[in-house]
A = this chain, B = another copy of it.
């Protein structure tokens, strides 16, 4: 089956999958970083989640729908592996072990999305921003100093708050010496406090 896989490279900002397009392949990330988002009323976007290397991009809807109900956009130079969905299904039909493994991995990934969404929902503005900063530091970059791959507007689209309040709160974190940053270059100075804010607002 892996002989049937094709690789595609995308530049930062390029759209990899368009919302509404037909699902032909099962895809996963070989390198880079992507965001999953969807269009909501009045032309705004809502960011659903981010995916790292070896995360599946084909998550939602891959087996339950014929079209994507979300857009996948590269946030960095990204290489995607695509496997023809029909061929994958043919293998899955014959190989229960493979399918069970696949199901486990998809289950893990959707679990994370759901729990992350629930966590964000129960937090207030400050807690949500602390959550996002910690998410990129701990989960994506594994470093307290990193280059934020998204704009303040995209943070807002992810946490469901306004861009102005994201900027304002980050400025406040800077004033309080919790963060240092220059544009997208971010450093967590007081991780303990940031974690407290993430947990208790």
**Contact surface of A with B, Cβ cutoff 8 Å:** 38, 40-41, 46, 48, 60-65, 69, 89, 92-100, 102-104, 106-108, 110-111, 113-115, 117-118, 120-122, 160, 199-200
A interface majority secondary structure: helix
Distance in angstroms from A124 CB to nearest chain B CB is 11
CB contacts (< 8 Å) of A46 on chain B: these are 118, 121-122
CB contacts (< 8 Å) of A41 on chain B: these are 199-200
Copies of this chain, count = 2
CB contacts (< 8 Å) of A113 on chain B: these are 114
CB contacts (< 8 Å) of A38 on chain B: these are 118
Closest B residue to A48 by CB, please name it: B118
Choose among B62, B69, B100 the residue that contacts A92 (Cβ–Cβ < 8 A): B100
Choose among B61, B111, B118, B200 the residue that contacts A61 (Cβ–Cβ < 8 A): B111
B117 touches A64 (CB 8 A): no
A93 touches B104 (CB 8 A): no
- Known contacts A64-B107, A96-B96; A160 and B114 CB within 8 A of each other: no
